[in-house]
Amino acid sequence: MATGLTLSACAPADSGSSSGQTTLNVGMASEISALIPWQQQGYNFSQNAGFTIFDTLIKFDDDGVAVPVLAESWEVSDDQTQTTLTIRDGVTFHDGNPLTAADVAYSIDIRANPELIAKYGSWALFGDAMYGSVEATDDSTVVVTTTSAFRFIDALRRVMIVPEGSADNPDFGQAPIGSGPYSFVSFDPGVKLEVASYADYWDGAPAIETLTFNTIPDIGAQASALRSGDIDALYDIQSASYSQVADVPGLTELQTGTYFSWWMTQTKTGITGSPEGRAALRYLFDSEQMNAAAYGGEGTATWNPFDETPIGIGQDVDATYDPAKAKELLDAAGLGGQTLSILALQGYEDSERMGQLLEQAAQEAGLATDFKVLSVADYLATTYTDPTWDGIVYGAGTLPFPFYDAFDYMILGYPDMAALIAQMRGASDDELASLVVEAQQLMLDDTLVLPAFVAPIRTLIPEGLTGVEATAFGDVRWGDAAFE
């Protein structure tokens, strides 16, 4: 499996004794815009820096199997409607208060209870109709009940635990309290987050005493900061830019699996709401040129990123780059001359470069274009909460993560896919495999999928830095980082 590896940073065998360094400055291209974990503003927080301040209940190993963090163990009912979690004893929050099952139940409930989701603007773990209850039955036990079968353990990977009542604290986002390996120090939104080793962390205080995440969007500035020592590590480097930092001395490459990017369609209105329109848009992608511009030629173009996993169906699409063909199909469908909206994501150089090429091709096909590069917050607000928006949007992720998540990210507003996703979320492992195959076929048959690209995910860390945990699912945890 291309993405089924977990690689941790390892110093060379002859690296010598401890460097004595107790600070670590990490650079990253995309910003952290907020620190409210139940709202999860972007992967830089929810898959990276958030794990420093907050603990989750479980994490995934390199095979996608859930392993304990704050949940020491769990039991799932035969019908997958009830999950009982046993919470680790002896854990404290950064303010010194003990972490109990009540805090865990609260942290889950603000992501599950429809009333609380609406009140606090939370990211929902499942649909409103599925919510049953979340109860702390004693100080160490939480019982979660859903109205139908649901793979609830899968959903806990990014549920970060906060003290009960945190969502009613108006200052929580400016000075968050968690139980993670690091406590909050300071935050300049979009610029820098600083955290400090938590002496009473249940799994031992981190050796790195001060950890800072710095937003540096420009690759040239990233390279300069690495060479000057202003930053020590660089998180999630775009393939097209990697050559500019690969030769910086004293660093080693940490691979975190395989990166997938794709262009997805909103399927309700406009050009992208029409099967004929979606089929025509397939001819606007010059995969070779996009690969060169976005990934320095290192990417692999595909119509179906699942084909890079054992569960792929291996079916290609008969469409090559041909704006004239796209124009012919659009005109025949009565869609010629309409406006195509294209959304790229700020901090993702590949999306911006491919978006520019896509805009040019659309104009050659006789379409007007509205090309925008949005921040993470604006991107999410537009694509997931604005029912009037239609167009093509850039998406990215890693596979395998829970397979139903991938389809949720790849398809916007398509009822048949939503129904399949609902089935996947309550399926057994054997049932899930067949549903994933069915969903891939639906994507291809109903012209829902546009070209995707597969490329390596890379982070550069100092030689001699150990304990950085990186999974093929895109999660990076710095809590055990230490210099030899």
pLDDT in tens, 232-281: 999 988 777 888 898 899 999 887 767 788 888 888 889 999 999 999 99
pLDDT higher than 50, residue 1? no
| Cβ–Cβ under 8 Å, residues 94 and 177 | yes
Least confident of 94-103, 162-171, 435-444, 464-473: 464-473
Quick one: residue 62, left, alpha or beta (phi over 0 = left, psi -120 to 50 = alpha)?
alpha
pTM of the predicted model, to two decimals?
Answer: 0.78
| CA dist 422 → 124, 148, 185, 417, 435 (Å) | 14, 10, 40, 9, 10
Alpha helices in 4-151 (DSSP H): 43-44, 50-53, 101-112, 114-120
> Residue 356 in 3-state DSSP?
helix
At 395, list the tokens.
Answer: 């998406």
Closest CA to 222 of 39, 75, 122, 349: 349
pLDDT higher than 70, residue 176? yes
| Cβ–Cβ under 8 Å, residues 24 and 208 | yes
Ramachandran angles phi, psi of 254, nearest 5°: -110, 115
Rounded Cα–Cα distance for residues 200 and 76 (Å): 32
Q: How many residues does the chain have?
A: 484
Question: Residue 3, exposed/middle/buried by CB under 10 A (0-12, 13-18, 19+)?
Answer: buried
- Tracing tokens 């492992």 back to the chain, one arrives at 429
Structure confidence by residue, pLDDT tens digits, 436-476: 999 999 988 888 878 888 887 789 999 999 999 987 777 88
Give me the residues paired with residue 138 across strands.
141
pLDDT higher than 60, residue 45? yes
Closest CA to 155 of 130, 125, 124: 125
